[in-house]
Chains A and B, each alone.
Chain A
Amino acid sequence: MTPRRSGRVHPLERVYATALLLLPPRVRREDGDAIRETLRDQLADAPDDRRTALALLAISRFPGAALRHWKDELAPGSGASRRPPHRTGRDGMDGFLRNLAYVARSLRRAPTFTLATIALVGLGAGTVTTVYTIVDDVLLRGLPYPESDRLVYLTNGSHNGPTMERLDEVEAFEFWTATSTSSVNLTRIDGEPLRLRRTEVTPDFFTIFGARPALGRLLIEADEGNPGIAVATWPAWQEVWGGREDLVGSTVRLDGEPVEIVGILSREFVHPEMVLGDPTHLFRPIDWDEAGLANPGYHAHRIVARLAEGASIATGDAQMDRVAADVAAAFPDYYTEGPQDWPLQTLHERTVEDARDGLLLLLGAVALLMLVACTNVAHLFMARGLTRGREMAIRRAIGAGRRHILAQLTFEALAIGVAGGAFGLLLAGGALRLFSAWTVELPRGTTISLDFGVLGVSILLATGTAVLFGLFPALRTIGNDPQERLRTGGAGAGTSRALNALRGGLVVAEVALSLVLVTTAGLLMRSFAAVTAQDPGVEAEGVYLVPLNLAGIDTPDTYRRRMEALRQSVREIPGVVAATYGVEAPFEFVGGDACCMASGWRPEGQPEATPIRVRSHADGPEYFETFRTELVAGRHWTSAEAGATPHPAIISERLAIQAFGSAEAAVGRTLELRGGMTIVGVAEPTLHYGLDQPHDFATWSPIEMLPFPIGRTVISLRTGPGSGPIGSAIREAIWAVEPDLPVPTVSTLEAWIDRSSSTRRLGSTLFGAFGMIALALAAAGLYGTLLYAVGERRRELGIRLALGAGRGRIQGQVVRRGLTQAGLGIAAGLGIAWFVGRLLEAWLFEIPATDPLSLASSAALLLATAAVAAWLPALRAGRTDPLETLKAE
């Protein structure tokens, strides 16, 4: 019987395969593969709905099997020479087996302890593994392209025509490619038009990104300038054309034009998101626009290059600088401020830069959490060890060897470690699956798979902690005379000065670590609050945005004409009070390196000054009415002025102050930018690219200044108070003018603004959650320690109460002891938090890393928690019945 093999590996088979690492090395070497194969056969042969159950059964039985394998391995003279099964002995096999059974029994008798420690180990190991796996995958692993360490990206946005003409002169580049992505509308016989993303590339794109065709061919040099062909990606082939066999060689209609699909990329091709953004569906040969190539203002393409062997970023930079200088010399009117700077950046760096700090921060946070969890495991094991003094003494008295007792305690810790590890593995597996389903925020999220190394390390750490702290009390007591221990009831006064000091130390450490997490959470939350409290310079309520993509725009005039017709149409919807359009809209693009027309500007007569990056917006009528951006000086341009040259402009207050000293001084002056602008007004500060971005250096001009044809656009409209949902009315208004135009989304400006700070919200939520968990763990640790201490001193407390000591006084003592430990922890934690805050600085917004309010409030929070955690054991101490305790003697 040969079970059929399925190509995919069941995820739990991986789990099982990892667990095999726990087998004795000899067994793993000799039988490991066979064991795994057997499970795979078993799963392959099982019906779909039984597979997971079968795998779970195998996994649940594995710890027992592994222990038995170890037992076999360690047994003196294993194998055929084994003693017959019924002989009893104090050592060896049967001792081992009995030990095992004993461990199982004693753990089952203490379900709270067992579950709590397993959960702690699992939580700690699971979170650390999840986060480390993500961080490792995103930050450390190389990009999935050939010679990926030699791939570089030209920063500072898109590149102009004349520069691209000279890129071949850069000897440091082995290959380079220019890409530009835009949307096209696919005409379908059976349904509405579909909006696809199409990227135009030079043929070396495929060499640089190691693409291979699955069917047909890729684009070659001879295809350049031929817009009538395209290569589809594998996902597009599957999703858009349903994997149709005959797609290659067939003709589809894009924006109404026939395009032949000549090939399909292989499934393995990884979309270079860091360059192209969202997945693209089609690649077509670049179609150089001769006029564009001659125009320094033609910015449409992103450039990626592969450095030649031996070439460095520095040589590449130096050669690019020469090109930039040549171009600037050739177009002195355009480059009035000197050559543009385009530093190279490795593609890897570009891929991870946005996510790196956040991920490292997160990794730090879970590492702290893991430490807190370990501390609690230590607590629990010590507490258990201490309360079992009597039990151990009995076992010693009836002849159990020291070695036995230690072995048993070790086994207990190991069993917890293995079970906790399995739990952690499940957690991490689940978390990563969730994460993969939700990869919007991070680059390369889709390729993540579990990092077993880290899982192993974190389980070892937790188990090691458990063994250490489980054995410690035993080692302390084991040398004592067992009879003495029995007489004193197992918890004599001498047990434990050192142990109590150690437990106190653990509490202090826990409180300190929790304080760090809570403070960090506080800082991030305050930052998030500060960000959301920013005035964006637009009034978001009631504003709707409709991103569109017009096909067949060949001149700026066609764009204006068609957009104006659309604008008029939506403007007439009842309830709409203003409508405008532009190439992009506020908060559509988020971050410092975002979109659109930007140029360097230096104050007049200061050629040495660092240029200021000014963003220019060209907008249709009613822009300022739609977004309610107020003017602080000057006026709006009139419609008569709109087409004039130099263009009229409203500039941002920040730019006005930088360039002319004040808003008032700017009005009527000329700004030497984009061929000169006449300043008619100055706008209040705006945050076009995100609430946490600095105020813009920006100019707004009439749409008439738009220098190039472009298909992408956003219609923005403001509704009056009390208007209801308007989405379908907007669509109808658009279709009344352009019946075939896809309208993929109608968003609100509020949603876009919200989205612009989603990473911060995520960060503060995660840290808030971690902080709360740490706080709860610290409280549990403190509570447990004090409760134990009270229990230990029952006799003493009873006597004191009998002698007339006040209950309040005794309670006060317990609380004081708890607060002293918490206080020490808080002091230590403040020191660490101070240091950690400095690492956080890049992440904070208008909140200093040493923000006294955050530090003080987290200290207060911890102190209050500690007071509650200490109060409960104190109540118990106060309730001690003197008679009861003394009778018990």
Chain B
Amino acid sequence: MDPADHLPLAPRDLLILAALAEGPSHGYGLIKAVEIRSESGVLLDPANLYRVLRRMREMGWIEEAEGGGDRRRVHRITPQGRALLAAELGRLERLLGQARPALADGGR
């Protein structure tokens, strides 16, 4: 699969992948992580979260992992997901690199 097929990522997908890149998490952990990263800009609800997770599982970006102590289900990122995240971040950085000078010069 060529990661480029799936770019750009929706901000919500990006944030979820980024959160999972730091380590496996259960559903509420992801909601919390996304909320903190986006400084409350993105608020997930459980039903939508699990739809996104299901889709990402089917795409092979993430997979289920054995939970910690309790029975709660935990997801972790796959190498494929990591590659996708890297591709998206690279794309965004390139984009920023191209766009920023405009503001640096004429914005003041």
Interface residues of A (CB under 8 A from B): 1-3, 16, 20, 23, 27, 30-31, 34-39, 41-42, 45, 57-58, 61-62, 64-66, 68-69, 72, 78-80, 84
Contacts and interface: CB of A to CB of B under 8 A. Distances in A.
Given A58-B45, A58-B46, A58-B47, A38 B5 contact: no
Contact of A36 (B46, B49, B60): B46
Nearest to A41: B28
Interface stretch (B50-58, B82-90, B93-101): B50-58
Contacts of A58: 45-47
Interface string B25-44: 01111011000000000010
Contacts of A39: 45-46
Contacts of B29: 1
Given A3-B28, A42-B28, A80-B58, A34 B47 contact: no
Given A41-B27, A80-B58, A80-B59, A61 B32 contact: no
B31 A38 contact: yes
B91 interface: no
Contacts of A41: 26-28
B72 A61 contact: no
Contacts of B51: 27, 65, 68-69, 72
Nearest to A55: B45
Given A31-B54, A84-B5, A38 B59 contact: no
Contacts of A2: 70
Q: Taking each of B45, B59, B73, which has the highest tally of chain A beta carbons within 10 Å of its own beta carbon? A: B45
A792 B93 CA distance: 62
A40 to B, nearest CB: 8
Nearest to A1: B29
Q: Taking each of B28, B43, B54, B60, which has the highest tally of chain A beta carbons within 10 Å of its own beta carbon? A: B28
A470 B43 CA distance: 36
Contacts of B58: 78-80
Contacts of A35: 27, 46-47, 49-50
B16 to A, nearest CB: 13
Query: Is the contact region of chain A dominated by helix, strand, or loop, or is it mixed?
Result: helix
A57 B54 contact: no
A42 B43 CA distance: 12
Given A3-B28, A31-B54, A57-B43, A38 B60 contact: no
Nearest to B48: A65
A61 B70 CA distance: 28
A45 B28 CA distance: 9
A74 to B, nearest CB: 14
A97 to B, nearest CB: 14
A41 B31 CA distance: 10
B69 to A, nearest CB: 8
B73 A34 contact: yes
A566 B45 CA distance: 68
Given A31-B54, A80-B59, A65 B28 contact: no
Given A41-B28, A42-B46, 8 more contacts: A20-B47, A27-B50, A34-B72, A39-B45, A61-B47, A66-B47, A79-B55, A79-B58
A419 to B, nearest CB: 16
B28 A62 contact: no
A115 B36 CA distance: 36
B48 A61 contact: yes
Nearest to B73: A34
B57 to A, nearest CB: 9
B48 A68 contact: yes
A57 B73 CA distance: 23
Given A57-B43, A61-B47, A34 B5 contact: no
Nearest to B33: A1
Q: Which 10 A-B pairs have the closest CB atoms?
A: A38-B27, A41-B28, A79-B58, A65-B47, A38-B46, A58-B45, A61-B45, A65-B48, A35-B46, A31-B50
A634 B50 CA distance: 87
A42 B50 CA distance: 14
A72 B45 contact: no
Contact of A38 (B50, B54, B70): B50
A68 B10 CA distance: 16
Q: Taking each of B53, B54, B59, B72, which has the highest tally of chain A beta carbons within 10 Å of its own beta carbon? A: B54
A58 B43 CA distance: 10
A42 B35 CA distance: 12
A39 B55 CA distance: 20
Nearest to B31: A42
Contact of B72 (A30, A37, A72, A79): A37
Nearest to A40: B28
B43 A38 contact: no
Given A42-B28, A42-B46, A66-B47, A27 B72 contact: no
A804 to B, nearest CB: 64
8 contacts: A1-B29, A31-B53, A37-B27, A38-B26, A61-B45, A64-B48, A65-B47, A68-B51
Nearest to A22: B47
Contacts of B31: 38, 42
Contact of A72 (B28, B43, B49, B54): B54
Contacts of B72: 34, 37
Nearest to A64: B48
A69 B47 contact: yes
B102 to A, nearest CB: 27
Nearest to A2: B70
Nearest to A32: B50
B59 to A, nearest CB: 5
B32 A62 contact: no
A803 to B, nearest CB: 62
A94 to B, nearest CB: 16
B5 A72 contact: no
A65 B44 CA distance: 11
A37 B67 CA distance: 14
A15 to B, nearest CB: 13
A421 to B, nearest CB: 16
A27 B55 CA distance: 11
B37 to A, nearest CB: 15
Contacts of B60: 80
Nearest to A19: B47
Contact of A62 (B5, B45, B54, B55): B45
Q: Taking each of B50, B53, B55, which has the highest tally of chain A beta carbons within 10 Å of its own beta carbon? A: B50
B12 to A, nearest CB: 13
Contacts of B49: 35, 38
Contacts of A31: 50, 53-54
Nearest to B60: A80
Contacts of A64: 48
Contacts of B47: 20, 23, 35, 58, 61-62, 65-66, 69
Contacts of B73: 34
Nearest to B69: A2
B3 to A, nearest CB: 13
Contacts of A1: 29, 32
A84 B28 CA distance: 30
A65 B27 contact: no
Contact of B45 (A30, A57, A78): A57
A178 B31 CA distance: 59
A33 to B, nearest CB: 8
A477 B17 CA distance: 50
Nearest to A81: B58
Nearest to A60: B45
Contacts of A66: 47
Interface string B57-81: 0111000000000101100000000
Nearest to B49: A38
Contacts of A23: 47
Contacts of B45: 39, 57-58, 61-62, 65
Nearest to B70: A2
A39 B47 CA distance: 9
Nearest to A37: B72
Contacts of B54: 27, 30-31, 72
Contacts of A45: 28, 32
A68 B52 CA distance: 10
A459 B26 CA distance: 33
